[in-house]
């Protein structure tokens, strides 16, 4: 017998899990999540640094962060599982006037959008937070005390466990191999299609109609082929992380998301830095670091990295990052590093480094929640909420969701975020 679901989510990382949670909490529980791995978290979620911050430059990223950080602060109570949110802050350190002007403009925007706790800090303030930092070339910076870290694995598991408690099903060890579409129902404009879907679903949720019917567009989702057989559904959520473009292609849709390797280096236990200090960002190089247990976690975005599914750690990266680390924090020259404990994972990059959230323009019933470009953990609460809103109601009160739709790349509405870590 063919399995059926109102919504099939492809990918059970932190994003797919959040979408499942938010759908279930909006009353849509006939949801099936498909994961090809035997365990959750084997994609980018399990490789993440776990940083969360509201210190962004574009309004949409600031809004997504604000919702998400507020959510992380109450996660344990609301979701019933721990997120391990630690509000240790993010400290941006500026070394030239351009950096200062950039931080000032960002802070004004953040303040206007309700993030009112970003503080200006002087080199003296910075030394108080991290006495070992070299500040001779630092002009100042910003510090937001509610930025910090979460445990990505715990957040993902919390979302999924809660969703499953509400009836969502999860199939592990099951690969999606194809997506079936019905060709050519009436091609109505996407705006009117979304409006009528929203109206139908609003009344469906109030018990007045068949749930989740969609209006006609170019082609229409009919089902999902998996290694465990066919699933009949009208709604598919692409939450396949760095592999999202190939999943989109299965339905005949284009998605500008490409994988980019990102590498992290933990030190062995190191007590020459404070037990508690913020994520520190050296704006002169992009090097940043935070405490992770007894050691320090070192991160740097290598500008020479090229796109591709490269998940092997490159040992030559260690020297590159240690040079930057020792230059900003001289005591780190004494830290020991075991290359076997370093790791690499994939960012899911879009051309403007913002997520793509919304319906596919040419495949009715296909939704993208992809391309987080390094922010998928911190934005997982907001992206799950916005995706669920769009699927069920065609709009979201959280953000003006149209700014994140995939049509922005063909319409020339690209967003510009320069605070990428």
Residues that bind ligand FAD (CB under 6 A): 10-16, 34-37, 42-45, 47-51, 175-176, 239-243, 247, 262, 264, 345-348, 372, 374-378
Q: Which is nearer to ligand FAD, 102 or 300 (CB)?
A: 300
**Could you tell me if 387 and 56 are in contact, meaning their C-beta atoms sit under 8 angstroms apart?**
no
Shortest reach from residue 420's CB to ligand FAD, in Å: 11
* 116-122, long-range: CB < 8 A, 24+ apart: 117/144, 117/145, 117/146, 118/54, 118/55, 118/142, 118/143, 118/144, 119/143, 119/144, 119/145, 121/91
3, 229 contact by CB (below 8 A): yes
Q: Which is nearer to ligand FAD, 140 or 259 (CB)?
A: 259
Nearer to ligand FAD, 266 or 359 (CB): 266
CB of 6 to ligand FAD, least distance (A): 19
Nearer to ligand FAD, 9 or 204 (CB): 9
Q: Which residues 6+ apart lie within 8 Å of 241 measured at CB?
A: 11, 13, 15, 43, 44, 45, 346, 348, 370, 376
Closest C-alpha to 155, from 239, 238, 69: 69
Nearer Cβ to ligand FAD (35/282): 35
Question: CB of 416: closest distance to ligand FAD in angstroms?
Answer: 19
Beta carbon of residue 341, minimum distance to ligand FAD (angstroms, whole number):
14
Whole-angstrom Cα distance, residue 51 to residue 290? 9
Q: How far is the CB of 46 from ligand FAD (least distance, A)?
A: 7
Closest CB to ligand FAD among residues 56, 194? 56
Residue 9: closest CA among 23, 20, 24:
20
Shortest distance, CB of residue 200 to ligand FAD, whole angstroms? 28
Phi-psi region of 391 (alpha: psi -120 to 50; beta: other; left: phi over 0): alpha
């Amino acid at each position: 017998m063919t399995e059926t679901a109102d919504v099939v989510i492809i990918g059970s990382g932190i994003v797919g899990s959040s979408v499942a949670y938010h759908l279930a909490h909006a009353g849509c529980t006939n949801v099936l999540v498909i994961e090809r791995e035997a365990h959750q978290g084997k994609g980018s979620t399990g490789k993440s640094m776990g940083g969360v911050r509201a210190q962004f430059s574009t309004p949409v990223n600031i809004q997504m962060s604000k919702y998400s950080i507020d959510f992380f602060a109450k996660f344990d109570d609301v979701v019933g599982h721990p997120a391990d949110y630690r509000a240790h802050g993010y400290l941006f350190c500026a070394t030239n006037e351009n950096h200062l002007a950039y931080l000032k403009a960002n802070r004004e925007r953040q303040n206007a959008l309700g993030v009112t706790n970003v503080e200006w800090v002087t080199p003296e303030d910075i030394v108080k937070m991290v006495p070992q930092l070299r500040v001779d070339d630092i002009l100042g910076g910003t510090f937001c005390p509610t930025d910090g870290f979460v445990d990505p694995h715990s957040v993902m598991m919390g979302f999924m466990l809660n969703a499953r408690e509400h009836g969502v099903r999860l199939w592990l060890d099951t690969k999606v191999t194809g997506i079936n579409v019905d060709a050519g129902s009436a091609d109505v404009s996407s705006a009117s299609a979304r409006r009528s879907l929203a109206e139908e679903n609003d009344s469906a949720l109030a018990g007045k109609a068949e749930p989740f019917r969609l209006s006609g567009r170019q082609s229409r989702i009919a089902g999902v082929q998996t290694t465990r057989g066919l699933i009949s559904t009208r709604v598919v959520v692409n939450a396949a992380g760095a592999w999202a473009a190939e999943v989109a292609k299965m339905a005949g849709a284009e998605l500008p998301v490409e994988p980019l390797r990102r590498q992290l280096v933990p030190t062995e236990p190191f007590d020459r830095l404070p037990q508690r200090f913020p994520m520190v960002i050296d704006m002169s190089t992009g090097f940043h670091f935070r405490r992770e247990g007894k050691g320090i976690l070192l991160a740097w975005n290598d500008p020479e990295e090229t796109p591709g599914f490269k998940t092997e750690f490159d040992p030559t990266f260690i020297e590159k990052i240690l040079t930057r680390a020792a230059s900003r924090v001289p005591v780190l020259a004494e830290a020991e590093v075991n290359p076997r404990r370093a790791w690499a994972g994939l960012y899911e990059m879009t051309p403007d480094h913002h997520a793509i959230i919304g319906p596919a323009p040419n495949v009715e019933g296909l939704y993208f929640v992809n391309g987080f470009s390094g922010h998928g953990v911190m934005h997982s609460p907001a992206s799950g909420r916005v995706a669920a809103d769009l699927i069920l109601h065609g709009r979201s009160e959280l953000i003006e969701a149209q700014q994140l739709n995939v049509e922005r790349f063909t319409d020339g509405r690209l967003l510009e975020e320069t605070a990428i870590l």
